[in-house]
Protein backbone atom coordinates (compact mmCIF):
# COMPACT_ATOMS: atom_id res chain seq x y z
CA UNK A 1 0.00 0.00 0.00
CA UNK A 2 1.53 3.33 -1.01
CA UNK A 3 -0.65 5.56 1.14
CA UNK A 4 1.14 8.54 2.69
CA UNK A 5 -1.67 9.82 4.90
CA UNK A 6 -3.49 6.96 6.57
CA UNK A 7 -6.64 7.20 8.68
CA UNK A 8 -7.25 4.50 11.28
CA UNK A 9 -10.87 3.93 12.20
CA UNK A 10 -10.72 1.79 15.31
CA UNK A 11 -13.87 0.38 16.81
CA UNK A 12 -15.54 -2.47 18.58
CA UNK A 13 -17.89 -2.49 15.57
CA UNK A 14 -20.54 -4.58 17.33
CA UNK A 15 -21.88 -4.07 14.69
CA UNK A 16 -20.30 -1.59 12.27
CA UNK A 17 -22.91 0.91 11.04
CA UNK A 18 -23.26 3.79 8.60
CA UNK A 19 -22.24 6.33 11.28
CA UNK A 20 -18.80 4.68 11.35
CA UNK A 21 -18.57 4.61 7.55
CA UNK A 22 -19.63 8.24 7.17
CA UNK A 23 -17.21 9.31 9.88
CA UNK A 24 -14.39 7.62 7.95
CA UNK A 25 -15.50 9.25 4.69
CA UNK A 26 -15.74 12.66 6.35
CA UNK A 27 -12.29 12.27 7.93
CA UNK A 28 -10.79 11.34 4.59
CA UNK A 29 -12.06 14.50 2.97
CA UNK A 30 -11.37 16.74 5.97
CA UNK A 31 -7.73 15.69 6.38
CA UNK A 32 -6.99 14.76 2.75
CA UNK A 33 -6.25 11.14 3.65
CA UNK A 34 -5.28 8.56 1.02
CA UNK A 35 -7.31 5.84 2.68
CA UNK A 36 -8.67 4.38 5.88
CA UNK A 37 -7.76 1.24 7.74
CA UNK A 38 -10.75 -0.09 9.66
CA UNK A 39 -9.48 -1.83 12.75
CA UNK A 40 -11.97 -3.98 14.69
CA UNK A 41 -10.80 -4.48 18.24
CA UNK A 42 -9.67 -7.79 19.66
CA UNK A 43 -10.93 -7.35 23.19
CA UNK A 44 -12.50 -3.97 24.06
CA UNK A 45 -11.73 -4.45 27.73
CA UNK A 46 -13.62 -1.31 28.82
CA UNK A 47 -16.88 -2.40 27.15
CA UNK A 48 -19.72 -4.50 28.54
CA UNK A 49 -19.41 -8.01 27.06
CA UNK A 50 -23.06 -9.09 27.40
CA UNK A 51 -23.93 -8.50 23.76
CA UNK A 52 -20.45 -8.84 22.30
CA UNK A 53 -19.93 -10.96 19.18
CA UNK A 54 -16.56 -12.68 18.77
CA UNK A 55 -13.64 -10.89 17.15
CA UNK A 56 -13.93 -13.03 14.03
CA UNK A 57 -17.64 -12.19 13.63
CA UNK A 58 -17.04 -8.44 14.09
CA UNK A 59 -14.10 -8.69 11.68
CA UNK A 60 -16.31 -10.43 9.09
CA UNK A 61 -18.96 -7.69 9.35
CA UNK A 62 -16.32 -4.96 9.01
CA UNK A 63 -14.85 -6.67 5.94
CA UNK A 64 -18.30 -6.84 4.35
CA UNK A 65 -18.95 -3.18 5.13
CA UNK A 66 -15.82 -1.90 3.38
CA UNK A 67 -15.38 -4.44 0.58
CA UNK A 68 -16.68 -2.12 -2.17
CA UNK A 69 -14.30 0.78 -1.51
CA UNK A 70 -10.70 0.76 -2.77
CA UNK A 71 -9.69 3.38 -0.24
CA UNK A 72 -11.18 1.46 2.72
CA UNK A 73 -9.26 -1.51 4.04
CA UNK A 74 -10.07 -3.81 6.94
CA UNK A 75 -7.23 -5.06 9.15
CA UNK A 76 -7.27 -8.18 11.33
CA UNK A 77 -4.28 -6.96 13.36
CA UNK A 78 -6.07 -6.41 16.68
CA UNK A 79 -8.34 -9.46 16.42
CA UNK A 80 -5.31 -11.66 15.66
CA UNK A 81 -3.16 -10.13 18.41
CA UNK A 82 -5.57 -11.34 21.08
CA UNK A 83 -5.65 -10.14 24.69
CA UNK A 84 -6.82 -6.67 25.66
CA UNK A 85 -6.68 -4.23 22.77
CA UNK A 86 -4.38 -1.30 23.37
CA UNK A 87 -4.36 1.38 20.69
CA UNK A 88 -0.74 2.34 21.34
CA UNK A 89 0.37 -1.21 20.38
CA UNK A 90 -1.59 -1.01 17.13
CA UNK A 91 -0.12 2.38 16.27
CA UNK A 92 3.42 1.13 16.99
CA UNK A 93 2.84 -1.87 14.70
CA UNK A 94 1.42 0.36 11.96
CA UNK A 95 4.37 2.74 12.35
CA UNK A 96 6.67 -0.24 11.80
CA UNK A 97 4.79 -1.27 8.63
CA UNK A 98 4.44 2.28 7.29
CA UNK A 99 7.52 4.13 8.63
CA UNK A 100 7.05 7.18 6.40
CA UNK A 101 3.27 7.56 6.62
CA UNK A 102 1.35 10.15 8.60
CA UNK A 103 -1.10 8.30 10.85
CA UNK A 104 -4.49 9.79 11.82
CA UNK A 105 -6.51 8.01 14.48
CA UNK A 106 -10.21 8.83 14.03
CA UNK A 107 -12.50 9.11 17.06
CA UNK A 108 -15.65 10.76 18.33
CA UNK A 109 -14.56 13.99 20.04
CA UNK A 110 -15.90 12.96 23.46
CA UNK A 111 -13.03 10.52 23.58
CA UNK A 112 -10.76 13.52 24.29
CA UNK A 113 -12.19 13.39 27.82
CA UNK A 114 -11.44 9.69 28.32
CA UNK A 115 -8.28 9.04 26.33
CA UNK A 116 -6.04 9.83 29.30
CA UNK A 117 -7.51 6.68 30.91
CA UNK A 118 -6.51 4.54 27.94
CA UNK A 119 -3.31 2.54 28.21
CA UNK A 120 -0.16 4.71 27.63
CA UNK A 121 -1.87 7.79 26.16
CA UNK A 122 1.51 9.49 25.70
CA UNK A 123 2.54 6.72 23.29
CA UNK A 124 -0.70 7.16 21.35
CA UNK A 125 -0.12 10.90 20.96
CA UNK A 126 3.49 10.30 19.94
CA UNK A 127 2.52 8.07 17.01
CA UNK A 128 -0.46 9.83 15.46
CA UNK A 129 -2.59 12.88 14.93
CA UNK A 130 -5.95 12.44 16.61
CA UNK A 131 -8.79 13.34 14.27
CA UNK A 132 -11.72 14.00 16.57
CA UNK A 133 -15.26 14.39 15.24
CA UNK A 134 -17.35 16.88 17.15
CA UNK A 135 -21.02 15.92 17.02
CA UNK A 136 -22.54 18.93 18.73
CA UNK A 137 -23.20 17.14 22.04
CA UNK A 138 -20.25 18.92 23.65
CA UNK A 139 -19.81 22.69 23.18
CA UNK A 140 -16.98 23.48 20.78
CA UNK A 141 -15.28 25.72 23.35
CA UNK A 142 -15.02 22.82 25.84
CA UNK A 143 -13.48 20.64 23.14
CA UNK A 144 -11.06 23.36 22.15
CA UNK A 145 -9.96 23.82 25.78
CA UNK A 146 -9.42 20.07 26.15
CA UNK A 147 -7.52 19.97 22.88
CA UNK A 148 -5.18 22.68 24.16
CA UNK A 149 -4.74 20.94 27.52
CA UNK A 150 -3.74 17.66 25.83
CA UNK A 151 -1.45 19.54 23.45
CA UNK A 152 0.35 21.22 26.37
CA UNK A 153 0.52 18.13 28.58
CA UNK A 154 1.40 15.47 25.98
CA UNK A 155 2.41 17.42 22.89
CA UNK A 156 -0.72 15.90 21.35
CA UNK A 157 -1.58 16.82 17.80
CA UNK A 158 -5.38 16.96 17.63
CA UNK A 159 -7.57 18.08 14.76
CA UNK A 160 -11.21 18.82 15.57
CA UNK A 161 -13.64 18.25 12.76
CA UNK A 162 -17.32 19.08 12.63
CA UNK A 163 -19.54 16.08 12.02
CA UNK A 164 -23.34 15.95 11.79
CA UNK A 165 -25.21 14.52 14.76
CA UNK A 166 -26.48 11.09 13.81
CA UNK A 167 -28.45 9.21 16.39
CA UNK A 168 -27.09 5.86 15.24
CA UNK A 169 -25.34 3.56 17.65
CA UNK A 170 -24.38 -0.10 17.79
CA UNK A 171 -26.35 -0.35 21.05
CA UNK A 172 -29.52 0.83 19.33
CA UNK A 173 -28.99 -1.53 16.39
CA UNK A 174 -28.60 -4.50 18.76
CA UNK A 175 -31.77 -3.42 20.57
CA UNK A 176 -33.67 -3.28 17.29
CA UNK A 177 -32.50 -6.81 16.42
CA UNK A 178 -33.69 -8.03 19.84
CA UNK A 179 -37.08 -6.43 19.26
CA UNK A 180 -37.38 -7.89 15.74
CA UNK A 181 -37.24 -4.43 14.11
CA UNK A 182 -35.54 -3.64 10.81
CA UNK A 183 -31.96 -2.41 10.68
CA UNK A 184 -32.15 -1.61 6.98
CA UNK A 185 -30.36 1.68 6.12
CA UNK A 186 -28.58 1.64 9.50
CA UNK A 187 -25.96 -0.87 8.36
CA UNK A 188 -24.83 -1.85 4.83
CA UNK A 189 -27.06 -4.54 3.28
CA UNK A 190 -24.24 -7.09 3.35
CA UNK A 191 -23.85 -6.58 7.12
CA UNK A 192 -27.61 -6.78 7.66
CA UNK A 193 -27.74 -10.08 5.75
CA UNK A 194 -24.85 -11.45 7.83
CA UNK A 195 -26.62 -10.49 11.06
CA UNK A 196 -29.93 -11.99 9.95
CA UNK A 197 -28.31 -15.23 8.69
CA UNK A 198 -26.43 -15.67 11.98
CA UNK A 199 -29.46 -14.71 14.14
CA UNK A 200 -27.08 -12.36 15.92
CA UNK A 201 -28.26 -10.09 18.74
CA UNK A 202 -31.71 -11.70 18.73
CA UNK A 203 -31.68 -13.40 22.08
CA UNK A 204 -28.88 -11.73 23.96
P1 LIG B 1 -17.19 1.88 18.71
O2 LIG B 1 -18.17 2.01 19.80
O3 LIG B 1 -17.38 0.77 17.73
O4 LIG B 1 -17.08 3.26 17.95
C5 LIG B 1 -16.04 3.50 17.04
C6 LIG B 1 -15.89 5.00 16.82
O7 LIG B 1 -17.00 5.49 16.08
C8 LIG B 1 -15.84 5.77 18.12
O9 LIG B 1 -14.81 6.74 18.02
C10 LIG B 1 -17.23 6.39 18.18
O11 LIG B 1 -17.23 7.63 18.86
C12 LIG B 1 -17.56 6.61 16.73
N13 LIG B 1 -19.02 6.62 16.49
C14 LIG B 1 -19.93 5.69 16.84
N15 LIG B 1 -21.17 6.04 16.44
C16 LIG B 1 -21.05 7.22 15.81
C17 LIG B 1 -21.98 8.13 15.18
N18 LIG B 1 -23.29 7.88 15.11
N19 LIG B 1 -21.47 9.25 14.65
C20 LIG B 1 -20.16 9.51 14.72
N21 LIG B 1 -19.24 8.73 15.32
C22 LIG B 1 -19.67 7.59 15.84
O23 LIG B 1 -15.71 1.65 19.28
P24 LIG B 1 -15.08 1.98 20.73
O25 LIG B 1 -15.26 0.79 21.60
O26 LIG B 1 -15.54 3.32 21.20
O27 LIG B 1 -13.52 2.06 20.37
C28 LIG B 1 -12.99 3.11 19.60
C29 LIG B 1 -11.47 2.94 19.54
O30 LIG B 1 -10.89 3.33 20.79
C31 LIG B 1 -11.01 1.49 19.31
O32 LIG B 1 -9.96 1.49 18.38
C33 LIG B 1 -10.51 1.06 20.67
O34 LIG B 1 -9.49 0.06 20.64
C35 LIG B 1 -9.95 2.37 21.19
N36 LIG B 1 -9.79 2.34 22.67
C37 LIG B 1 -8.54 2.09 23.15
C38 LIG B 1 -8.33 2.00 24.51
C39 LIG B 1 -6.92 1.74 24.98
O40 LIG B 1 -5.99 1.74 24.18
N41 LIG B 1 -6.71 1.48 26.24
C42 LIG B 1 -9.40 2.16 25.39
C43 LIG B 1 -10.67 2.41 24.87
C44 LIG B 1 -10.87 2.49 23.48
P45 LIG B 1 -17.99 7.74 20.30
O46 LIG B 1 -17.22 6.85 21.23
O47 LIG B 1 -17.90 9.19 20.61
O48 LIG B 1 -19.39 7.25 20.06
Mutation test residue for ligand 1: of 8, 11, 53, 134, the one with most atoms within 8 Å of CB: 11
Q: Is the pLDDT of residue 203 over 90?
A: no
Helix (H/G/I), strand (E/B), else coil: 7? strand
DSSP line for 86-135: -HHHHHHHHHHHSTT-EEEEEEEGGGGGTGGGSS-HHHHHHH-EEEEEE-
Q: Is the pLDDT of residue 204 over 60?
A: no
In this prediction the pTM is: 0.96
Band of pLDDT at residue 97, cut at 50, 70 and 90: very high
Each residue's pLDDT tens digit, 36-76: 999 999 988 888 888 899 999 999 999 999 999 999 999 99
Q: Which ligand 1 atom sits closest to the C-alpha of 12?
A: 3
| Nearest CA, atom 5, ligand 1 | 11
Mutation test residue for ligand 1: of 111, 131, 137, 146, the one with most atoms within 8 Å of CB: 111
Q: Is the pLDDT of residue 144 over 90?
A: yes
Ligand 1 binding residues, C-beta < 6 A: 10-13, 19-20, 23, 39, 41, 44, 46-47, 85-87, 107-108, 110-111, 118-119, 133, 135, 163, 166, 168-170
Helix (H/G/I), strand (E/B), else coil: 79? helix
Q: Which ligand 1 atom sits closest to the C-alpha of 13?
A: 3
* pLDDT at residue 135 in the model: 83
Work out the mean pLDDT of the chain and round it to a whole number. Answer: 95
Q: Mean pLDDT, to the nearest integer, of 173-194?
A: 97
Q: Which ligand 1 atom sits closest to the C-alpha of 78?
A: 34
Each residue's pLDDT tens digit, 99-141: 999 999 999 999 999 999 999 999 999 999 999 999 877 888 9
Which of 167, 198, 177 minimizes the C-alpha distance to 64? 198
Q: Mean pLDDT, to the nearest integer, of 162-171?
A: 93
Amino acid sequence: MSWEKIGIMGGTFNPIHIGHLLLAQWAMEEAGLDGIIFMPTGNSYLKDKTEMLSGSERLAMTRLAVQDRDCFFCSDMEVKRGGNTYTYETLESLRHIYPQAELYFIVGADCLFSIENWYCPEKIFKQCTLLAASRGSTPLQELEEKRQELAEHYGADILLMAFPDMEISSTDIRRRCREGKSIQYLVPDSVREYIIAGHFYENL
